[in-house]
Amino acid sequence: MAQNMDATEVWNQTYQLLLDQPLDLTLREVACLNDIKVTNIFGTMLVLTVSSESTRSVVEKKLHSALTQTFSQVMGQAMTYVVQIDPQVLEQNAQNVNVPVPQPVPQNIAQVREPAPPVAAPRIVEPEIVPPNAALDVPQNTRDEVTHLNKSARFDNFVPGDSNQFAKSIAFATAERPGFEYNPLFIYGGSGLGKTHLLNAIGNQALLINPRLKVRYTNSEEFTNELVIALGNNASSRRAEMVEFNRRYRGVDILLVDDVQFIAGRDTTVEAFFNTFNELYEQGKQIVLASDVPPKNLKGLPDRLISRFSQGLPVSIDPPSHELRVAILRMKAKAQHIDIPMEVLNLIAEKVTDNVRVLEGALTRISAMASLSNQIITKNLAEQTLKDFANSTVEITPTNIITFVAKYYKLTFEDIVGSSRTKNVAQARQVAMYLSRELTSMSLVDIGSTFGGRDHSTVMHACRKISAEMQENPETYTAVTELTTQLKQGNGF
């Protein structure tokens, strides 16, 4: 553990370790590494400061995996980071181009940044299912401490349709007879289509049938981080840590691995995963994998692993039809006692076509608007509310959200991720957490890490609070809707 290290020391150690690794970096990427300063540490989140937008893009994309893993290794716990551009550089740029920088200067990054292509979020993957809006409590997040399963993601609240029926049936059969017909079961499909839900449903159903089974849900980022920590710096405890790591992953009857596409890139992780896979497989234990693409399209993984993945049954989940979108909306509305006419459900299903998570967000928005304006839900009200709710192709990162929220509330970037508990800072932070849940695919755990190492239950509380406030408080409603619109339009990214 190295939690008492100061920011400079953390960077010095990380930098040294990075240089010792065969990372195959270009000269440009090495130059970007040299430009990084760690300027703050909030719990498990580091604030990195760089001097240009282009460096920031490299640090957020190409170097993300190496940096996250090495920071985690140095700190002895899973770490995440956000990247800001040096406030002094921004101020200097603003003066050079004669653009007055509004106060507070340093953190209004979006106002003075050069336009740049949307940058990828530090990829923080999704280990559990939680609705984007905690008011939509189907399924809620109740992650089990041992299995890591979200107990609320079940087969009985997974609505079937043409696009997912086959995957659901196979998943159900797998839960009933783990380790037999479909091993490994490989579920693939686009974002927000229900892969994580099915993985959890398999684990929950199998345990219902046989409570003595050992089940473990994980995702590739969690697997990698735990491996990095087990390998750690400390040679004397490494052996015991690795025994414990292997017990956790190789001693199970059912291993459920989400977002397996992100396992690529690190030889040690791929090797550990390959060995875990083989051992479980040879013992006849069930392995279920989920990914955004079929096995043959996985990039950066060795052929031997891809051929193992293809040995069992790959099944796809496709985007839902209009009828299925309406059926899912009906179920969610019913679960929340939202009285909503059929024509409005049809309208939402027309507007949001390719992601069930976004579908849920639209329903919440409409219900909040109706409740705030004390109206019943009508087609007209829904049309008004969803005016700007177009499917967006802009990629929104946690950094974007923090930057925009800070600007909206006239606070600093570090206020949002820091530890201040003053009322307006806490409110802004909760809105930022809510937006992170709604507009990115980050899990509660990962949002908590990004916002200064907060617990996932703190994030869940924030999402619930903002969601409830939206129904009662026009200021909160306006803040959320305006920020969503700005972020989706990508203004100032």
334 is in an annotated binding site: no
Q: Which of 49, 196, 367, 467 binds ligand ATP (CB under 6 A)?
A: 196
Strand order in the sheet with 313-317: 215-219, 254-258, 286-291, 185-189, 313-317
195 is in an annotated binding site: yes
Instruction: Decide whether 60 or 438 has the Cβ nearer to ligand ATP.
Output: 438
Q: How far is CA 188 from the centre of its chain?
A: 17
Indicate whether 135 belongs to the interface with ligand ATP (CB under 6 A).
no
Q: How far is the CB of 46 from ligand ATP (least distance, A)?
A: 25
Q: Which of 59, 201, 206, 328 binds ligand ATP (CB under 6 A)?
A: 328
Indicate whether 53 belongs to the interface with ligand ATP (CB under 6 A).
no
Instruction: Decide whether 158 or 182 has the Cβ nearer to ligand ATP.
Output: 158
**Segment contacting ligand ATP by CB under 6 A, of 124-132, 202-210, 223-231, 408-416:** 124-132
Q: How far is the CB of 57 from ligand ATP (least distance, A)?
A: 22
Largest CA distance in the chain: 69
Q: What phi-psi label fits residue 104: left (phi over 0), alpha (psi between -120 and 50 degrees) or beta?
A: beta
Which residues in 289-318 contact ligand ATP (CB under 6 A)? 292
Task: Give the residue nearest to ligand ATP (CB).
Answer: 194
**β-strands 80-85, 185-189 pairing:** unpaired
Which residues in 418-457 contact ligand ATP (CB under 6 A)? 441
Indicate whether 192 belongs to the interface with ligand ATP (CB under 6 A).
yes
Instruction: Decide whether 153 or 170 has the Cβ nearer to ligand ATP.
Output: 153
Q: Which of 87, 122, 127, 131 binds ligand ATP (CB under 6 A)?
A: 131
Which residues in 159-188 contact ligand ATP (CB under 6 A)? 159, 164
Indicate whether 148 belongs to the interface with ligand ATP (CB under 6 A).
no
Q: Which x/- pattern over 374-413 shows residues binding ligand ATP (rule: CB under 6 A)? A: ----------------------------------------
Three state DSSP letters for the chain: CCCCCCHHHHHHHHHHHHHCCCCCCCHHHHHHHHHCEEEEEECCEEEEEECCHHHHHHHHCCCHHHHHHHHHHHHCCCCEEEEEECHHHHHHHHHHCCCCCCCCCCCCHHHHCCCCCCCCCCCCCCCCCCCCCCCCCCCCCCECCCCCCECCCCCCCCCCCCCCHHHHHHHHHHHHCCCCCCCCEEEEECCCCCHHHHHHHHHHHHHHHCCCCCEEEEEHHHHHHHHHHHHCCCHHHHHHHHHHHHHHHHCCCEEEEECHHHHCCCHHHHHHHHHHHHHHHHCCCEEEEEECCCHHHCCCCCHHHHHHHHHCEEEEECCCCHHHHHHHHHHHHHHCCCCCCHHHHHHHHHHCCCCHHHHHHHHHHHHHHHHHCCCCCCHHHHHHHCCCCCCCCCCCCHHHHHHHHHHHCCCCHHHHHCCCCCHHHHHHHHHHHHHHHHHCCCCHHHHHHHCCCCCHHHHHHHHHHHHHHHHHCHHHHHHHHHHHHHHHHCCCC
Instruction: Decide whether 410 or 464 has the Cβ nearer to ligand ATP.
Output: 464
**Segment contacting ligand ATP by CB under 6 A, of 62-70, 151-159, 265-273, 362-370:** 151-159
Indicate whether 152 belongs to the interface with ligand ATP (CB under 6 A).
no
Instruction: Decide whether 363 or 479 has the Cβ nearer to ligand ATP.
Output: 363
Q: Do 149 and 143 contact (CB within 8 A), yes or no?
A: yes
Q: Which of 38, 46, 83, 356 binds ligand ATP (CB under 6 A)?
A: 356
Nearest residue to 210 (alpha-carbon basis) of 258, 247, 178, 168: 178
192 is in an annotated binding site: yes
- Residues that bind ligand ATP (rule: CB under 6 A) add up to a total of 22
Indicate whether 139 belongs to the interface with ligand ATP (CB under 6 A).
yes
Instruction: Decide whether 129 or 135 has the Cβ nearer to ligand ATP.
Output: 129
Give CA–CA dist 66/48, Å, rounded: 14
Indicate whether 357 belongs to the interface with ligand ATP (CB under 6 A).
yes
**Segment contacting ligand ATP by CB under 6 A, of 152-160, 172-180, 304-312, 424-432:** 152-160
Both structure tokens of 284:
């006849």
Q: Which of 95, 191, 234, 373 binds ligand ATP (CB under 6 A)?
A: 191
Instruction: Decide whether 46 or 129 has the Cβ nearer to ligand ATP.
Output: 129
168 is in an annotated binding site: no
Instruction: Decide whether 241 or 395 has the Cβ nearer to ligand ATP.
Output: 395
Give CA–CA dist 413/406, Å, rounded: 6
Q: Which x/- pattern over 90-119 shows residues binding ligand ATP (rule: CB under 6 A)? A: ------------------------------
Indicate whether 362 belongs to the interface with ligand ATP (CB under 6 A).
no
Indicate whether 158 belongs to the interface with ligand ATP (CB under 6 A).
yes
Q: Which of 33, 129, 230, 289 binds ligand ATP (CB under 6 A)?
A: 129
Residue ranges of the annotated binding site for ATP are: 192, 194-196
Interacting residues toward ligand ATP by CB under 6 A: 126, 129, 131, 139, 153, 157-159, 164, 189, 191-197, 292, 328, 356-357, 441
Known binding-site residues equal 192, 194-196
